[in-house]
Structure 1
Amino acid sequence: MKIIRFYFIIVLSLLFYSCNPITSETLFLRLNQIGFLPGDFKTAIIISRNPFEEKVFTIKNSDDETIFVDSIQQLPFKLNSNFNYLAYIDFSDLNKSGEYFIEFQKVKSYAFMIDENVFSAVRDSLIKFFQVQRCGPTNPLLHNVCHLQDASKVIGYTDSTGIDLTGGWHDAGDYIKFLYTTSFTTYMLLFSYEFAPEKFSFDLDNDSVPDILQEARVGLDFLLRCNFAEDAFISQVQDDRDHKAGWRLPDEDVFTFDRPAFVKMNRGQIGLYAASLAIASRIWNDRFYDNEFSDKCLNTARKIFELRNSIDDFADDEKYYNQNEFYSKLALAAVEIFNSTNDGKYLKSALEYGKRIRENNWWSWGDVNALVFYKLAKYDSTFISRLKTILNFYQNHSDSNLFGEAHPYNWGTTHSLAGVVLSSILYKKLTDSEEFDKLAILSRDFILGRNVWGMSFIYNIGKNFPKRIHHHIAYFNQGYLPGAMVSGPAPDSLLKKFNLLPSKNEFTDFNFSAIYSDEFENYITNEPTISGNATALFIFGYYSN
């Protein structure tokens, strides 16, 4: 590596210099399109159809001055039949704030920033997505107030009359509302604030309330409405007909007066529901001094948690968001209730449930082991090693492939990779170890463009992002959907199963066993969810100032 200092100014004609990238049909530079913190691990990947003609890359600033020069490192990987030549570049030693671009064999990358505040705009965008998802009289963004008749009737309970289930968030690109993902999302928003209040107290609307808590209140109010009876709660509002009625705005929904609610309760739902309300009770007491709301949340959390042993043996037959275990969610509920009450019986339950959690090296709306181990490690340090076991799996997976993907491709790849980052952050908080910092950065950068497709998977973040997101509101707004993180690439076998294999497009040459498609109809690769965005908000909020 060589840092080059210029003691003279080279004047270049604007005819030959532009901030726009110079592209090629044979060679591509893949990197995080937003930028880096000064102390970050900074890398990019070069993929080429032809053998490399040069061995050195340069990094230039916005004045076209060469700032950094180093050699490429050719890699023993092969992407697919189209790209046989791959290289890795490392510019971690470049830590001066500024705007830069990479140049190699006359190909220029997108411009990127090095700055302490580079991720603040990502965080601010992600929070806006939840405003778009708002339902009912909650001051939504990009659509009018909607679904004020939720719910028209209750199915699965003796009294089938309608009840008030307005509010909350639409789960994804559709208009169904789920208790489980609302609980997960609400918990993640509250956990983020409690984890680092100095980072998550941002107040973009200047109303003296942290935006993340304002948004969490939307979820909390809906969750409390869902508990319509002493021994039951609503698990879902609206049914599959929602997916079959075509594109429409929520305030023009043909089912406005026919959106039933469904009563169902399993132990996983009990756990996340109670955990969300228990953590809320502390925050509303400590931050807002609202004892009435705090007590309501805590009392409801305790009441619902006590129902766990009256539920039949776990058999989750949910069509959507089916879960495969419940111990992690019950452990999370118990430890949060303990943290709010200091009642030792809840800590005892939390640790007992924690010991029964089976290994699961995964992160999603239903796989939260890493978070639970972090919470329990405060009371039993053996859970630190269990968290590290998850991270070791991610590290081994990352080391085995070209772009360092730490998590297998799935339906929700970006959410799972955000979970890798979250897990790394939690481990560092517990141990002060930087062992998994690079792993976290590679997973973060994958989401922002350091991937084979060269896509940032968050709308309007970076230079190349999804423009045909599977979402009703995006469809009617020329693709505009602020802060939406789409699910991202998925296994070709999964797309084939659902008959969603794309025709030839701009990504075809880069596809391999995983495929990405930027199409309105593709609900596997191109749909955002509130749960995915909640995890993304945590990680980019953490990296923000």
Structure 2
Amino acid sequence: MKGWLFIGMGLLSWYACTVKKPIEKTQESVIRINQLGYTPKGMKIAVWGALTAHSISDFTVIEAKTNKIVFKQQAGNEYGTYGPFKQTYRLDFTSFSDTGTYYIKAGNVQSPTFRIAPDVYKGTADFALRYMRQQRSGYNPYLKDSCHTHDGFTLYAATAGLVDSTKIDVVGGWHDASDYLQYSTTSANATYHLLAAYRDFQGVFSDQKNAGGLDGKNGIADVLDEAKWGLDWLLKMHPAPHLLFNQIADDRDHAGMRMPAQDSLYGRGHERPVYFIDGKPQQRGKFLNNTTGTSSTAAKFASAFNVASLLFNQIDTSYANLLRNKAISAYQFAKIKPGVTQTVSVKSPYIYAEENWVDDMELAAATQWQITQEPKFQQEALEYAKQEKITPWFEKDTASHYQWYPFINLGHYELAKKLTGKDREEIISYYQEGIEKVWARAKKNAFFRGVPFIWCSNNLTVSLAIQCLWYNTLTNDDSYAALAQANIDWLFGCNPWGTSMVYGLPSWGDTPKDPHSAFTHLKNFPIDGGLVDGPVYGNIFNGLIGIELVKSDEYEPFQSDLAVYHDDYGDYSTNEPTMDGTAALIYLLAAKENELLEEAQAKK
């Protein structure tokens, strides 16, 4: 579960100060850019925002080396107030395509320097993989040490013939966030994204690590090695057709910061509880979840196994066959009791409150159809698709934590790319209808921001960009290219705070330095590539339990009732990195790098 809920706030008092960015000197206006840079043929937008009510008429792009003006343009339409800004403009310099290093000047303010180059996304997906390896449970290649090697003992598995506290080997997988809980729903979704990234964009990934995550090539792309780490754990969590487990550990984990090998919070030494999926509400303490069935999590297993079986068929046929058989049994398990499986919490009210499941069943059925070619799976996928045409948050301005997960309907893409005729057109129309709902909100502000500021808003931002890219792939219609790029730009600094939301990316930029992470807090270890949760509505931040900023807020001038973001260890709501969000980011960054590879190949 994302968020460390401390028992008392005394733990914060001994916070060891880390090097922090200086508080930005308050200016009347700022220019926000994508710090990664811009591609020569791509859209190039910066946003000018004023903290006081005034306007600009034009802007210039200036070569950093010579301070020579190389491009001048009208500022365009006024977009008015947004968050802390009294006036905003979108500064469009898309038509300028010369490579180099530049800055923008408008009025009396200038932007940070940025690059225009064909390689601005090169290596970024591999960089984000660093965080996934660092999140490994079992043997951790970053620490070169092992943790959670005694997992675990079963709970709620009596209906499957297992007495509570039965020993089971589920060592492996990834820690979910900065805590050490492990959830099947987020891990299966992350595994799917890594597999899809390799399948769709193999050319962007390198082979620098072995299967254990240590230096040394093994003939397999690192992203596929990482996906297999997730797959091997999912296989353990589904050891038999009648056994499928939902999570390891619970929110008792949140008692305080520690390194992963130091867990001993559940009364059985270093063993942790492993919660079985029985399709019923579960609790171990005060709070009861709203589980209604077995479908949402089990279907995610089936989808990951299906995609993996196709990829590994050329590498390890016995492993591919195992995955295929597990996909079949997971899909059958998902049908035991149609409904959603939520996570379990003991001490806090915060769970993954997932309420949708037909999208997961659609993806599972679509991947079953891809493998078997059996019409019944096509029909099942179409029926599930019609039950949730649009992922509900697209039409909302708020949601519960992980209420609709994954954050876009992955099944629509897997299904549509194989369909023809009217069925294909109908599925694609679901994507367009959802995007239009967001676009109606986004086009009213200078940042083209239509994603609600709910917990893990950055994850939604990544997913929306992916849906826009998939729509374009399916239709060759680039109507939403500006919306997609605005969401990418947002992640890398074109936002009110002017900061990247990815630790260490770019290395020269303003990125998180003080995340809510034991690795950085206790050991000052970098968590390269980790995507943090992102800004939340002011009222969400003010209502959360156990948040106390421990440093002066360098972004204070840019906070507002609309949204807040803090690069502060004490804020688990906006500055905690997430494993599943990072996995989705890897897919998005791979897609952007692949665009540039295709452009380069087209020139040959």
What is the TM-score when the length of structure 2 is the normalising length? Answer: 0.81
Matched position secondary structure for 1:514: coil
Task: Tell me whether 1:506 sits opposite 2:517 in the alignment.
Answer: no
Deviation digits for residues 501-520 of structure 1 (CA, Å, limit 9, x no counterpart): 75862222212221111111
Match of 1:529 in 2: 578
Match of 1:375 in 2: 414
Deviation digits for residues 406-457 of structure 1 (CA, Å, limit 9, x no counterpart): 3111111111011111001111111111111111000100010001111110
1:240 to 251, 273, 287: 251
Give RMSD over aligned pairs.
2.3
Matched position secondary structure for 1:446: helix
Shift of 1:43: 1.2
8 A Cα contact 2:533 2:576, kept in partner: yes
Cα gap change, 1:79/1:355 in structure 2, threshold over 3 Å: closer, same or farther? closer
Task: Tell me whether 1:355 sits opposite 2:376 in the alignment.
Answer: no
Match of 2:299 in 1: 271
Q: Give the counterpart letter for 2:373 in structure 1.
A: N
Task: Tell me whether 1:161 sits opposite 2:166 in the alignment.
Answer: yes
Deviation digits for residues 330-389 of structure 1 (CA, Å, limit 9, x no counterpart): 111111122122233222222222222253244867135532111222322110111111
Structure 1, 175-184 or 103-112: larger mean CA deviation: 103-112
Matched position secondary structure for 2:145: coil
Structure 1, 451-460 or 397-406: larger mean CA deviation: 397-406
| Separation (CA, whole Å) in 2 of partners of 1:102 and 1:479 | 34
Matched position secondary structure for 1:329: helix
Matched position secondary structure for 2:138: coil
Task: Tell me whether 1:340 sits opposite 2:371 in the alignment.
Answer: yes
Task: Tell me whether 1:285 sits opposite 2:285 in the alignment.
Answer: no
Match of 1:415 in 2: 459
8 A Cα contact 2:363 2:412, kept in partner: no
8 A Cα contact 2:341 2:354, kept in partner: no
| Separation (CA, whole Å) in 1 of partners of 2:144 and 2:49 | 42
Q: Give the counterpart letter for 1:333 in structure 2.
A: A
| Separation (CA, whole Å) in 2 of partners of 1:123 and 1:312 | 36
| Separation (CA, whole Å) in 2 of partners of 1:182 and 1:312 | 21
Matched position secondary structure for 1:145: strand
Matched position secondary structure for 2:300: helix
8 A Cα contact 1:237 1:262, kept in partner: yes
8 A Cα contact 2:59 2:106, kept in partner: yes
Cα gap change, 1:221/1:73 in structure 2, threshold over 3 Å: closer, same or farther? same
| Separation (CA, whole Å) in 2 of partners of 1:28 and 1:314 | 45
8 A Cα contact 2:105 2:111, kept in partner: yes
Match of 2:71 in 1: 68
Matched position secondary structure for 2:246: strand
Task: Tell me whether 1:249 sits opposite 2:259 in the alignment.
Answer: yes
Match of 2:287 in 1: none
Q: List aligned pairs for 1:448-527, cutoff 5 A.
A: 448-462=492-506, 463-478=509-524, 480-499=526-545, 500=547, 505-512=553-560, 513-527=562-576
Task: Tell me whether 1:301 sits opposite 2:311 in the alignment.
Answer: no
Deviation digits for residues 239-297 of structure 1 (CA, Å, limit 9, x no counterpart): 221111x21111233446131111115210111111111111000003x1x11100100
Shift of 1:171: 0.4
Structure 1, 68-77 or 505-514: larger mean CA deviation: 68-77
Cα gap change, 1:523/1:342 in structure 2, threshold over 3 Å: closer, same or farther? same
Cα gap change, 1:23/1:54 in structure 2, threshold over 3 Å: closer, same or farther? farther
Match of 2:137 in 1: 135
8 A Cα contact 1:133 1:170, kept in partner: yes
Matched position secondary structure for 2:363: helix
Cα gap change, 1:342/1:113 in structure 2, threshold over 3 Å: closer, same or farther? same
Deviation digits for residues 31-56 of structure 1 (CA, Å, limit 9, x no counterpart): 11110111111111112234658633
The answer for unaligned runs of 5 or more in structure 1 is 1-21
Percent of aligned pairs sharing the same letter: 26
Match of 1:125 in 2: 127
Match of 1:258 in 2: 271
Match of 2:149 in 1: 148
Q: Give the counterpart letter for 1:438 in structure 2.
A: A
Deviation digits for residues 190-247 of structure 1 (CA, Å, limit 9, x no counterpart): 1122223333x43234432111110000000000001133312111111221111x21
Structure 1, 423-432 or 43-52: larger mean CA deviation: 43-52
Q: List aligned pairs for 1:292-331, cutoff 5 A.
A: 292-311=318-337, 314=340, 316=342, 318-319=344-345, 320-331=351-362
| Separation (CA, whole Å) in 2 of partners of 1:211 and 1:359 | 33
8 A Cα contact 2:90 2:447, kept in partner: no
| Separation (CA, whole Å) in 1 of partners of 2:108 and 2:525 | 33
8 A Cα contact 1:143 1:251, kept in partner: no
Match of 1:116 in 2: 118
Matched position secondary structure for 1:100: strand
Match of 1:100 in 2: 102
Deviation digits for residues 157-186 of structure 1 (CA, Å, limit 9, x no counterpart): 323321111110000010011111110000
Matched position secondary structure for 1:29: strand
8 A Cα contact 1:469 1:479, kept in partner: no
Matched position secondary structure for 1:335: helix
Match of 2:286 in 1: none
8 A Cα contact 2:40 2:117, kept in partner: yes
Cα gap change, 1:402/1:207 in structure 2, threshold over 3 Å: closer, same or farther? same
Q: Give the counterpart letter for 1:470 in structure 2.
A: H
Cα gap change, 1:402/1:236 in structure 2, threshold over 3 Å: closer, same or farther? same
Task: Tell me whether 1:209 sits opposite 2:220 in the alignment.
Answer: yes
8 A Cα contact 2:297 2:334, kept in partner: no
Cα gap change, 1:24/1:101 in structure 2, threshold over 3 Å: closer, same or farther? farther
Matched position secondary structure for 2:470: helix
Match of 1:19 in 2: none
Q: Count residues with an aligned counterpart.
A: 518
Match of 1:3 in 2: none
| Separation (CA, whole Å) in 2 of partners of 1:128 and 1:429 | 28
| Separation (CA, whole Å) in 2 of partners of 1:148 and 1:37 | 45
What is the TM-score when the length of structure 1 is the normalising length? Answer: 0.90
Match of 1:79 in 2: 82
| Separation (CA, whole Å) in 1 of partners of 2:430 and 2:442 | 19
| Separation (CA, whole Å) in 2 of partners of 1:31 and 1:83 | 16
| Separation (CA, whole Å) in 1 of partners of 2:410 and 2:512 | 30
